Amino acid sequence: MSEIDIRPDIATGRLKAEQYTENFDDLVPVLDRKTALVEANRCYFCYDAPCIEACPTGIDIPGFIKKIATDNVRGSAVRILEANIFGGACARVCPTEILCEQACVRNAQENKPVTIGRLQRYATDHLMATGEHPFTRAPLTGRKVAVVGAGPAGLSCAHRLAMLGHDVVVFEAKAHPGGLNEYGVAEYKMPDHFARAEVDFLLKIGGIEIRTGQALGRDITLSGLRRDYDAVFLGMGLAGVKALEAEGEELAGVMNAVDYIADLRQADDFGRLPVGRKVVVIGGGNTAIDIAIQIRRLGAEDVTLVYRRGPSEMGATHHEQELAQVNGVRIKHWARPVKLTGQGGAVREAVFEYTQLDADGRLIGTGDHFAVPADMVFKAIGQSFVPDPLRQDGRDLLELKGAKIAVDAEGKTSLDKVWAGGDCTPGQDLTVAAVQDGKIAALAIDRALRG
**Cβ neighbours, 10 Å, residue 125:** 19
Residue-wise pLDDT for 50-93, tens only, equals 999 999 999 999 999 999 999 999 999 999 999 999 999 999 99
**What's the rounded Cα separation, in Å, for the pair 321 and 314?**
9
Q: Which CATH superfamily is domain 33-130 in?
A: Alpha-helical ferredoxin (1.10.1060.10)
**Separation between Cα atoms, residue 210 and residue 180, nearest integer Å:** 16
Cα–Cα distance, 375 to 365 (Å, whole number): 25
In DSSP notation, 179-210 reads: THHHHTS-TTTS-TTHHHHHHHHHHTTSSEEE
Angle at 201 between CA 195 and CA 204, to 5 degrees: 145
pTM exceeds 0.85 for this model? yes
DSSP 3-state of 288: helix
The DSSP 8-state label assigned to residue 402 in this structure reads T
CATH number of 144-239+387-449: 3.50.50.60
- Alpha helices per DSSP H over 46-115: 50-54, 61-69, 73-83, 87-93, 100-103, 106-110
Q: Is there a shared CATH topology between the 3-24+241-383 domain and the 144-239+387-449 domain?
A: yes
Answer for the pair 171, 214: CB distance below 8 angstroms, yes or no: yes
What pLDDT digit, counting tens, does each position of 376-414 carry?
999 999 888 888 788 776 566 889 998 899 999 999 999
Report the pLDDT value the prediction gives residue 91, as an integer from 0 to 100: 97
Residue-wise pLDDT tens digits, 82-130: 999 999 999 999 999 999 999 999 999 899 999 999 999 999 999 999 9
Whether domain 3-24+241-383 has CATH 3.40.980.10: the reply is no
Stated as kind and residue range, the H or E segment containing 353 is strand 346-357
Tell me, letter by letter, the H, E, C secondary structure of 135-155. Answer: CCCCCCCCCEEEEECCCHHHH
Contact 88, 195 (CB under 8 A): no
Packed helices 73-83 and 116-130: angle between N→C axes, nearest 10 degrees? 100
Q: Where are the domains of the chain?
A: 3-24+241-383, 33-130, 144-239+387-449
Angstrom distance (rounded) from CA 161 to CA 49: 29
Q: Cβ–Cβ contacts within 10 Å for residue 163, how many? A: 19
Helix (H) or strand (E) holding 371: strand 363-373
pLDDT given for residue 8 in this prediction: 56
From 188, 248, 205, 164, select the one nearest 446 (Cα to Cα).
164
State whether residue 273 is helix, strand or coil: coil
CA distance 103 to 55: 9
Per-residue pLDDT tens over the stretch 268-285: 999 999 999 999 999 999
Which run of H or of E encompasses 157?
helix 152-163
- With 0-12 / 13-18 / 19 or more C-beta atoms within 10 angstroms meaning exposed / middle / buried, residue 41 is middle
Residues 376 and 275: their CA atoms lie apart, in Å, by 8
Distance CA 156, CA 199 (A): 10
Does the CA dihedral 23-26-27-33 come out positive or negative?
negative
Portion of the chain with pLDDT greater than 90, in percent: 89
Full strand arrangement of the beta sheet holding 254-256? 254-256, 376-379, 278-282, 302-306, 329-332
Instruction: Report which residue type is found at 174.
Output: K
Burial tier of 395 (Cβ tally within 10 Å: 0-12, 13-18, 19+): exposed
Q: Confirm if 202 and 151 have CB atoms less than 8 A apart.
A: no
Confidence check: pLDDT of 364 > 90: yes
